[in-house]
Structure 1
Amino acid sequence: MEYVNLGRSGLKISRLALGCMTFGSPSWAPWVLDEENSRPIIARALELGINFFDTADMYSLGASEEVLGRALADHPRHKLVLASKLYNPMSQDPNDRGLSRKHIFESVDGSLRRLGTDYIDLYQLHRFDYETPLEETLDALNDLVRVGKVRYLGASSMHAWQFMKALGLQRQHGWAQFISMQPHYNLIYREEEREMLPLCRSEGVGVIPWSPLARGVLAGKRGEDGKGSTRAQTDRTATALYEATKAQDDQVAAAVKAVAERHNCPMAQVAYAWVASRPGITAPIIGVSRLTQFDDAVAALSLKLTDQDIAELEAPYRPKPVAGHQ
């Protein structure tokens, strides 16, 4: 496994990050694995040299963090990069959500307790909070870094102007700065190429994209009936992101299939390889529910796509509405 710096920071992360939304409680979503079935996947990630684990407090309403924490309890803490996120509602309480100082302080303590650790390596804003002054959020995050509960700060899907405003305020006040951005980015959703990715390259921010396989669409998991896997049928986020553009997206998937056949490899390898090789991308976040899925992700790091491959993969794309920011 190769290790690279996350943005301009000194933090070294593996070239693949294991997304932990799949781990937790099946009662939260039918495609989520319980602890017994999650542990072998987490163990295999460690064997492969993956040191970067990305979760969030909202995943299975905290159960993902609990499963991850217990599974990694016997592994040397200094060898791990644990990332979590906050913003989404954790209960019906009006203050148990968002990015207020109150919620930030309570959320980090909850995540630390569930993960069974004294600090979080990368603490990320899951989304932008339109109801809380940005200065309040950034000041509170800075305090978490200064008291040692958090080592580094990151953010996830938002508009580029929002992210740049945050970076500017952090610099103006001498607050700890965001070192990473976690955007929605794959072959069938490339809108981040317009503003966010150039911004991150310019400002030295690491990029760790989510959904590199577009919830399995780019791995050929959407069947002829358009429904595909259990997750594809029950994941409301996947439906919101990709159902309206199915006809257009299927053209991209067909191009992925053609390139994969030329390289004699699965579609997932090609989709992963394309994302991992794009300018400024640090480490794609991979979702794994079966051990065999690691094979495609790891093999993708050594798959060399030609200029012809890339042109063929990108040709069917057409601009689409921003998706994933909310």
Structure 2
Amino acid sequence: MKHRRLGRSGLYVSEIAYGNWITHGGQIDSDAALSCVRAALDCGVTSFDTADGYAFGAGEEILGRALAGERRSSVEIFTKVYWPVGPGPNDRGLSRKHIMETIEVSLRRLGTDYVDLYQAHRFDHGTPLEETMTAFADVVRSGKALYIGVSEWRAEEIRAAQALARELRVPLVSNQSRYSALHRVIEAEVMPACRELGLSQLAFSPLAQGVLTGKYVPGRPPPPASRATDTKGFGGHFMEKVLRDEILGRVQRLLPLAEAAGISLPVLALSWVLHEPNVASAVIGASRPEQITANTAACDVVLDDDLRAAMDAVLAPVALTDPALTTSPHHTP
């Protein structure tokens, strides 16, 4: 496993991070989740990503149990705050009240005194940014988080946050963004801003929720037990927009490219993401340990420029590039 520096900070993260969105507490049971975390550790993964809203807190709890007994300084734990975690108007968003209360709950679930990275899961249009950033600064100064990040923020929102972060002397180091060969909306505005400001990308859904593995074939039902068939969590719901024959057909045309390179299609797709220097880590999920073992091989692949260009040419008609697709909801109590 290789590591990259997160932003301009001194923190290194593994090129492949293990995330438990949808899977832990949803798509797979606790035993399978523990096996996946163990497989990630065995493959050299040191960075683990979760959020307070994943499976109503179960994501944090299961990850905490899975990492119990590991030397704390040998892993980097990321979590997030923003999405509703209760019925009340203050049980969501990025208000000072919610941040200061939620960090305590997250630490308790994770079984740790601090998280390495505390992330704003979306931009909060209803809370002054100064309030949010001051609360994050206080979380850092209290030792409950070492670094601060955001997730799916627009370029102008990141610029405003970094200006306040520098004034408050709080290390804002990353943006967690949806990024894959099929979803490239951050390339036009967000990524250039992050390069300028010293933030790295933590790329989530680098396999487009499994579509870039090639297992979904046009005209055929999804494979049994795949994310598209998930009814316990939200997997099937989140995949509705990408399970289109137009997209699936294009992905099938990538298989000969991967075969010619002597690698699997998932490894090709992950190496495409890691080819981008602004990406510090690709955050993968898994329902089976062997998926992690196979996919971490992407760290050993140096993607040829010609191969990347060939991939881009195949996917260009269906890849999303509009920066306006990076948005945060406008919540009301």
Shift of 1:116: 0.7
Report the alpha carbon displacement of residue 72 of structure 1 after superposing the two structures with TM.
1.1
* Superposition deviation, residue 177 in structure 1: 3.2
Choose which of 200, 205, 214 in structure 2 pairs with 1:206: 200
Q: Which amino acid aligns with 1:11?
A: L
Which residue of structure 2 lines up, in the alignment, with residue 6 of structure 1?
6
| Separation of aligned partners in 1, 2:90 and 2:220 | 39
CA distance 1:108–1:240, shift in 2 (3 Å): farther
Is 1:18 aligned with 2:18?
A: yes
State which of 15, 29, 35 in structure 2 corresponds to 1:34: 29
Per-residue deviation, residues 148-201 of structure 1 (Å, max 9, x unmatched): 111100111021111111111222x33413101111110111111101111122
Per the alignment, residue 55 of structure 1 pairs with: 50
**Cα offset, 1:249, TM superposition:** 2.8
The gaps in structure 1 that reach 5 residues or longer are none
* Letter of the 1:270 counterpart: L
Aligned match of 1:325: 327
Does structure 1 residue 120 correspond to structure 2 residue 118?
A: no
Q: Alpha carbons of 1:324 and 1:220: their partners in 2 closer, same or farther (altered >3 Å)? A: farther
Between the aligned residues of both structures, percent identity stands at 38
Q: Hey, what's the Cα distance between the residues in 2 that align with 1:221 and 1:20?
A: 21
Q: Which residue does the alignment assign to 2:213? A: 219
CA RMSD of aligned residues (A): 1.9
Matched, 1:78 2:76: no
C-alpha displacement at 1:139, in angstroms? Answer: 0.6
**Which deviates more from structure 2 when the two are superposed, residues 73-82 or residues 261-270?**
261-270
Q: Would you say the 8 A contact 2:187–2:321 is kept in 1? A: no
State which drifts further: 267-276 or 33-42.
33-42
| TM-score using structure 1 length | 0.92
The alpha carbon displacement at 1:205 in A equals 1.0
Match in the other structure for 1:129: 124
Aligned length: 318
Amino acid at match of 1:301: C
Comparing 214-223 and 250-259, the one that deviates more: 250-259
Does the 8 Å contact 1:180/1:206 carry over to 2?
Answer: yes
State the structure with bigger RCO (CA 8 A, min sep 6), 1 or 2: 2
Match 1:145 to one of 140, 149, 170: 140
Residues 200-235 of structure 1, C-alpha deviations (whole Å, 9 max, x = no match): 222221211000000111101323336524422442
CA contact (8 A) 1:51 1:80 kept: yes
Number of the residue aligned with 1:97? 92
8 Å CA contact 1:100–1:136 kept in 2: the answer is yes
Contact 2:186 2:326 in 1 (8 A): no
Distance 1:40 1:233, change over 3 A: closer
Unmatched segments (≥5 aa) in structure 2: 329-333
Counterpart amino acid of 2:157?
A: Q
CA-CA distance at 1:144 after TM superposition: 0.3
C-alpha contact (below 8 Å) 1:191/1:320 kept by paired residues: yes
1:60-81 Cα distance to aligned partner (Å, 9 max, x none): 1111111111111111111111
Amino acid at match of 1:2: K
Residue 241 of structure 1, CA deviation: 4.6
Distance 1:296 1:324 in 2: 30
